Amino acid sequence: MFAPSSQKNIYVQISSAYRRGDDMRKIHLLESGIVLLSFLAVVGIASAQSFSGYNYNANIFVGTYTQWCVQTLNKTNTWCAAWVGPSANDILVMKWNAQWNNCNANGYNNPTYCLGAWVDNEVNGKVPGGDGSVWHYKIIWVGSEGSSSPYWLPGGYSIWNNYEVVMDQGVDPSGAYNWCGATGLVHQFCALATPNGYGAVGS
């Protein structure tokens, strides 16, 4: 599913784990080669060592990609750092709502449990030892109808059969992960649905 040096494939692993309700992490969604993930720059981070990772009571993960790997895949720090590659020290923030948990527990396609479910994935590689990229993804549940769903928002793209990426944007100074076909240091928007807020669909 991934190559150790491929950041986008790391995103797939994270996204898949989150979608299944497993432990989770940083994302650029790729479905059939499209990775989805949501990232945000986290400001004022002195040391990644101070982050504990998952807090299931608060529906949040704050830590490095390496920490996500250790907690999710039950591997060693050394193994995870090598597997994640240049993104090992990037800071990952994942946030999700209670409806996301309800949807995961009830089959992914029932509006009673899934309408209003969302997950937000933010990555900050502008930290010591980071890969320099910053990315942010916003994902909502729309159901198995995909773009034909009454909950679909124009401007997004489908992921995991039942979900839509309503925002996919960021910057990669290295130019290695120019998901939208851009070149050089530019701010890329691969998706920007309208409206774009989590409250636009459901509650």
pLDDT tens for residues 68-110? 999 989 999 999 999 999 999 999 999 999 999 999 999 999 9
Does 2 reside within a domain?
no
Cβ(81)–Cβ(131) under 8 Å? no
Cα gap 23→3, rounded to integer Å = 20
Please report whether residue 1 resides in a domain: no
Q: What is the pLDDT of residues 15-71, one digit of tens each?
A: 444 444 433 333 333 332 223 333 322 333 333 345 689 999 999 999 999 999 999
Alpha helices (runs of H) in the chain, residue ranges in sequence order = 7-20, 65-73, 77-84, 98-105, 111-114
What domain range is 15 assigned to? 7-42+50-200
- The answer to whether 164 and 184 have CB atoms below 8 angstroms apart is no
Give bridge partners of residue 187 from the DSSP assignment: 171
188: closest CA among 25, 22, 28, 74? 28
pTM of the entire predicted model: 0.75
Task: Report residue 183's pLDDT band, with 50, 70 and 90 as the boundaries.
Answer: low
Q: How many structural domains are present in the chain?
A: 1
